[in-house]
Structure 1
């Protein structure tokens, strides 16, 4: 039998698989796919009537056991596109301790929870057990869950690697493997661990890889591990989603903090993206001191903190989620209609993934990027690469145009945590990093300020001593 690694490709130059386009797809319904009665009943109970395009495209081939390469925008229904075939084709089998039968690899802790929760009703209907494996949570509980037996494991590569090293998990019986958000796993440096996992699963198994981009590393995985895959690329990029609006708001440096605060105080939820953990924490504290119900999400938070903040954002206890790119992948929040790039992304694919948090599953939404005049050229280049033609508007805080585009309004100013309101910092023309300056610049300015203050105090002490001596 031909080994999957020998699929007529060479490392680094894989043969491009054939592509199925939406125009060639026949009309597909869940009922017409001959899914088990239990799955059809669960779909109906959850109000899932018709397949999304990515599901209609991939389900027929995936249910037949074909290797799948799915390309498309996040928020398009990919979880059921790979999840239903994985569950249906695993149903009826029972996992032995430490030996799962199906594996879903994702890049972040949040995605392990989200994927497991989305598939749980269908797994329960088919009497399949799901275990989640990710860092930031108890490894002891994960070892126990695997020891009890789980047919399906949803995992991040790092923690799965740790469990394999401890002999708590063996992959030789895994016959269906899914790589979700493969490009981000490669971006995060997981390529060696992903390859190691794929070397350990059953060599004749089915592999499904979903990725928004096919850069060199992802192409390497496709060529090396997918056997005669079918490519389904049916969802548009952010630049062609007709329900998504893109705005670039040019702001004046000293006014930037006020603009951000007024947008955050809008009536409705908003997701704010910044580059650093420090900046996220600083802005969150400022917003809460201004009366805005904001929560912070970044990799420096513990998993319970991250889970709680996400839950509060989804149920609107928190109306503003201030986050780093950790929230740019896989995060799904119903009816989120505004995403704001407080710090403009430097790469097109980061923009696409941030934008993908809104206008999901056919809903409408807006993506707003704040820029200073000196950032316009670089931001225009990045957006052109992403295929975006934004509407560019100069705005100031308190103006009707800012409110029209974002729903901005004046915050209450009543602190939420019992602390005095944070005074607005003197902003500079640098990108927002905490208090309006870059991390390095802020640290440097602080150093100069301390030295100047110390010199001033020393001079005053000398002057006082001289007065006493001459007095």
Structure 2
């Protein structure tokens, strides 16, 4: 790896089958290593997690002091990040604590008593633990805001700023995001930092093809049924509401299709079981509500289906970004009512290079 001199990191990357860094990983390695504040905006699936993990891990000492805090907006993302960081941190002898809001707080407190060097949590849970004086922020040297566009939204901005403000003034702050927002571009105003900004949205091209299938709203489930019979069909399907998702799952199962359901109210163990089954090829579809979209990382997922068009372009980008990750080709299919001009206007803006697709003889053809 041209920019990485650390032998341990190079060995780790080799063991994980990584021979080339992505653009965001290349650009961030040196400034993150040197302690600079960073704002990095790069499309979903371009390796932003490793872009900060690789340069930060050698800086974390195995001394039982909390030195690195990663803040993530959802429980799912916390668990996903924890898995990655634990995997890469083993040779460095440091411990990683996952603090999702859905976890048992007493067990999390017990874990913190064991002097964890790296903690990863949601803003709400981190604030709860901070209020109970269980996190020693004066020891923290680096704070990472992962999916910073969400952490800087109206709903989470206050908690995020309060948490960052607990650390010493010379701490390092790193914000990574798949989309830009005003707060990111005005980062110095909110966090008393002068970050180096890397905006790679136009520089990095994600190999994803967008197509749409014109279909009446009431006929979307039947379209999903037909799409399931296309060769090698396997897709993550996003639906906006829980009630609609339940109904679609019921209809598809009535038609003898094996489908899984993922929503934000599920117990953690049930979600893990459903995700594992989908990753193992047991379902043709994984139906997910919008609230479950963030933090999903499903390797080798070729297709995403928008059963509903989300309400905002950022949601569309994040959901679409579940495929085409780390340079793999991906397909995003949107089911859209041809008689709804408002939806059409939004969709054309969000996916300007989209093309129509049709299902014939159990095959998907792009017109």
TM-score (norm 2): 0.92
User: What SS does structure 1 have at the residue aligned with 2:272?
Assistant: helix
Kindly state the Cα deviation for residue 113 of structure 1 after the two structures are TM-superposed.
1.3
1:146 aligns with 2:112: yes
C-alpha distance in 1 between matches for 2:190 and 2:216: 50
Deviations along 1:411-466, whole A, 9 cap, x unmatched? xxxxxxxxxxxxxxxxxxxxxxxxxxxxxxxxxxxxxxxxxxxxxxxxxxxxxxxx
C-alpha distance in 2 between matches for 1:215 and 1:77: 20
More displaced stretch, 288-297 vs 211-220:
211-220
Counterpart of 1:113?
A: 79
Kindly state the Cα deviation for residue 157 of structure 1 after the two structures are TM-superposed.
0.6
Kindly state the Cα deviation for residue 237 of structure 1 after the two structures are TM-superposed.
8.7
Kindly state the Cα deviation for residue 253 of structure 1 after the two structures are TM-superposed.
4.5
> Relative to total residues, which structure has the larger strand share, 1 or 2?
2
More displaced stretch, 258-267 vs 138-147:
258-267
C-alpha distance in 2 between matches for 1:237 and 1:335: 23
Counterpart of 1:245?
A: 209
Counterpart of 1:179?
A: 145
More displaced stretch, 209-218 vs 337-346:
209-218
Kindly state the Cα deviation for residue 288 of structure 1 after the two structures are TM-superposed.
2.3
Residue from 304, 312, 323 that aligns with 1:339: 304
Counterpart of 1:80?
A: 50
**Aligned-residue CA RMSD in angstroms?**
2.2
C-alpha distance in 2 between matches for 1:289 and 1:384: 34
1:289 aligns with 2:254: yes
TM-score (norm 1): 0.73
C-alpha distance in 1 between matches for 2:286 and 2:19: 31
Q: Alpha carbons of 1:188 and 1:263: their partners in 2 closer, same or farther (altered >3 Å)? A: farther
Deviations along 1:132-171, whole A, 9 cap, x unmatched? 0012222121111111111000111111111112222231
Question: Structure 2 stretches of 5 or more lacking a match?
Answer: none
C-alpha distance in 1 between matches for 2:160 and 2:264: 21
C-alpha distance in 2 between matches for 1:199 and 1:291: 54
Residue from 337, 340, 349 that aligns with 1:372: 337
Counterpart of 1:42?
A: 12
- Alpha-carbon contact 1:273-1:324 (below 8 Å) kept: yes
Counterpart of 1:464?
A: none
User: What SS does structure 2 have at the residue aligned with 1:368?
Assistant: strand
Deviations along 1:333-391, whole A, 9 cap, x unmatched? 1221111110112221111111101111111111111111222x223322344353211
Counterpart of 2:33?
A: 63
1:362 aligns with 2:327: yes
Pick the structure with greater CA Rg.
Answer: 1
Q: Alpha carbons of 1:332 and 1:129: their partners in 2 closer, same or farther (altered >3 Å)? A: same
- Alpha-carbon contact 1:298-1:323 (below 8 Å) kept: yes
1:383 aligns with 2:352: no
User: What SS does structure 1 have at the residue aligned with 2:339?
Assistant: helix
